[in-house]
Amino acid sequence: MGTSELKQKFRSQPASIYLSVLAVGMVLSQFSNYLWFEEPIYRGQPANIVVYFLVFLIAVVSWLGVNSPDRVHGLLLGFLALMAVAWVAHWLLYRLHGDAFNYTALLYVPILVMIWLKPPLWWEAWVAILAFAWATTFILALTRVLEMSGVLAIKTQSLGVITFDEERYFLPINDLLGIDGRWPGPFGHNGDTAMMGAFLIVIALAYWTRASWVFLAVGSFTLLVTSGRASIGAVIAAIVIMVMFAQHGRIARIPRWIRVSGGIGALLFGAIFMYSRSAGSTGRDYFWPAFMDLWESAPFVGIGTSGIAVSGGITEQFGHAHSLYVDELARYGLLGFITQFGAVAVGLVVTFLAAKRGLAGPLAILIAYLVTGLTEPRNQWISPTVTGTLLILAVVTAGVFLSREKKPAKREH
């Protein structure tokens, strides 16, 4: 094979490779943080930072080999641009408050630019989501096997937290498995681990393959041992979305108006149920008002992480609002909230339009993400995160799917 043939082969790589590298690498980075939490391994940087920089370099090399005929345009371009604007807003707010962020924040906008310049075909983006699901499945299963074999200790939880969980959550098999309280898992917190299990179920149902049985098994087990009620609700909401927009199979034979009206009714009932149910069992009836009081003290820019750290009372004690939305308001005010959730709102529009045209999976993923955010702040917005990566992949999948309908999608080789 000559030099020209090698160059041609290098420049005909599918975009699914660089996206999958970023997706899988983010999961591995999170796992490395679980194994060596904040332990410096290179020039004072912890494992997760080093791992993700290496992942980014590998992704860039793969990205250089993608021969994409078009750039992102339309609503998807608006989403990527607004995500970049939100990042700039958060960077300014971080600087204003003197909050710390790690070096992976420097990679956030470059990743968005990579997608803009060399977008995937819709199926390539979905391959990256499946790679994300496989990586998550592997890490969840590996962590549990290592814990059961004694190689890895279950993350330490205080006696108070364990007692709290066992009194208020349904945990039928945790004692048999040697898990005290809810399983923290490899994603830092039982709520975050539960959410990853929920995403596995949603991905399994959104695009059925033989791998779906594996995702369902691991995802269901994860929900059982974490008892993440918001995550369970997120799965139900995602299933409702997929039923509403189904265009194939037996479900699609049910008249659309029945599925849509029934789905809207089910979602409204779920929202009313969650709203009317007392948050006292998990303490959120204390957390949320306390953090809203902090927001009122600086409504436009919030008080930042540094302000919460010296706020006193339960806000200082717990450090976050146990809600993606309340936490963003208190921490970074209307400026952070409007820029970030304005971008997410555009993502919702993109995924909704794709669902109307037959691809409901991305919308189901986004709805699941937003529902789980009701009770926990799932990610910071200034650095790449596991959940943030999946959110972006879902919107990108929907956006390029819509573009495909306007003109045939092809990759030059």
Q: List the domain boundaries for the chain.
A: 71-406
Q: What is the pLDDT of residues 86-112, one digit of tens each?
A: 999 999 999 999 998 899 999 999 999
The b-or-e profile of 40-53 (16+ CB within 10 A means b, else e) is: eeeeeebbbbbbbb
Q: Would you state the pLDDT for residue 191?
A: 87
- Produce one character per residue of 335-358: b if its CB has 16 or more CB atoms within 10 Å, e if not: bbbebbbebbebbbebbbbbbeee
CA proximity to 400, closest of 69, 87, 62:
69
- Tens-place pLDDT, residues 211-265: 999 999 999 999 999 988 889 989 999 999 999 888 877 777 788 778 778 878 8
* Terminal alpha carbon distance of the chain: 16
Element (H, E) at 140: helix 122-148
The DSSP H or E segment spanning 232 is helix 229-244
pLDDT of residue 278: 47
User: What is the C-alpha separation between 2 and 4, in angstroms, rounded?
Assistant: 5
343, 76 contact by CB (below 8 A): no
Cβ 222 vs Cβ 145: under 8 Å: no
pLDDT of residue 2: 45
- With H, G, I as helix, E, B as strand and everything else as coil, classify residue 52: helix
Distances (CA, A) of 19 to 60, 82, 166, 202, 386: 10, 20, 40, 20, 13
Q: What stretches in the chain show pLDDT beneath 70? A: 1-12, 271-283, 378, 405-413
* Structure confidence at residue 282 (pLDDT): 54
pLDDT of residue 3: 46
Cβ pair 96, 304 in contact under 8 A: yes
The answer to whether 291 touches 321, Cβ cutoff 8 Å, is yes
Residue 405: what pLDDT?
A: 57
HSE toward the beta carbon, residue 366, CA cutoff 13 A: 25
- What pLDDT is attached to residue 412? 47
Count other C-beta atoms under 10 Å from residue 127's C-beta.
20
In angstroms, the CA 171 to CA 178 distance is 12
Q: Is 323 left (phi over 0), alpha (psi -120 to 50) or beta?
A: beta
| CB neighbour class for 141 (10 Å; exposed up to 12, middle 13-18, buried from 19) | middle
